[in-house]
Amino acid sequence: MNASLRHLRLAVGVAALSTFALAACTSNTPPIEQAAPAPMAQPAIPSQYRPEEIVGRWGYGAFHKDEDLARTAAAARGQCGQPVEITRGPNGGVMMYLADSAQLQELQLKGSASGKNYIGPPGDAGGAQDREIVSFDGRTMVLKWIDPEVAGRYGTGVYVRCAAEGMPHASGKPPMKPPAQ
């Protein structure tokens, strides 16, 4: 009887210890950090950019840290040997890829009352599949995905305009002078 009493005490002790350990695990969990909710989409108005400004051959790169923008733009310039070609869509938009899609799709340039501009499928400006045009000067375009999960995977895109096909690439050096005769 002594042996079975010891076994019973041991079993009760193990059960109590297990209960305390389990309670400690569940009560001391840190709060789950939630991603900031995506901004609410708003009715699209005409963008300040026109599709013909976006159409062309572009070197592409992406970054996750803002301090990498200049380095990424330089690397994107080097991608002009295999450029991303953005063409005009049949309905007036531009042909580009959406996240996780191997199909070119016609995307629209959309403005918003807040002054921000977007590229995305038809619909409200700032939708989950849109990219915000963070900056665009005609030569360099920076696009940020609206969906935080997609932005985390793809980063912020940098497009650097390439020289027209068949044109010499700008090297930053002055043209050579012809040899003296």
pLDDT tens-digit profile of 31-47? 444 444 545 678 889 99
What pLDDT sits at residue 171?
45
Task: Using alpha carbons only, give the angle 87, 92, 95 rounded to the nearest 5 degrees.
Answer: 30
What pLDDT sits at residue 43?
86
Q: What is the mean pLDDT of the chain?
A: 82
- Residue 148 CB partners (closer than 8 Å, separation 6+): 35, 36, 38
Statement: residue 154 has pLDDT above 90 = yes
What pLDDT sits at residue 25?
46
- Residue 127 CB partners (closer than 8 Å, separation 6+): 41, 118, 120, 121, 146
Tell me the mean pLDDT in the region 57-64. 98
Tell me the mean pLDDT in the region 155-163. 97
**Distance in angstroms (rounded) separating the CA atoms of residues 175 and 44:** 46
**Distance in angstroms (rounded) separating the CA atoms of residues 104 and 151:** 19
What pLDDT sits at residue 123?
95
What pLDDT sits at residue 2?
61
String of DSSP letters for 118-156: EEESSSSBT-TT-EEEEEE-SSEEEEEESSHHHHHHH-E
This prediction has a pTM of 0.71
Asked if residues 133 and 48 have their Cβ atoms less than 8 Å apart, the reply is no
Segment 95-147, tens digit of pLDDT: 999 999 999 999 999 999 999 999 999 999 999 999 999 999 999 999 999 99
Count CB atoms within 10 A of the CB of residue 39.
14
| φ, ψ at 96 (rounded to 5°) | -145, 170
Most confident option among 13-17, 141-145, 162-166: 141-145
What pLDDT sits at residue 10?
55
Segment 66-95, tens digit of pLDDT: 999 999 999 999 999 999 999 999 999 999
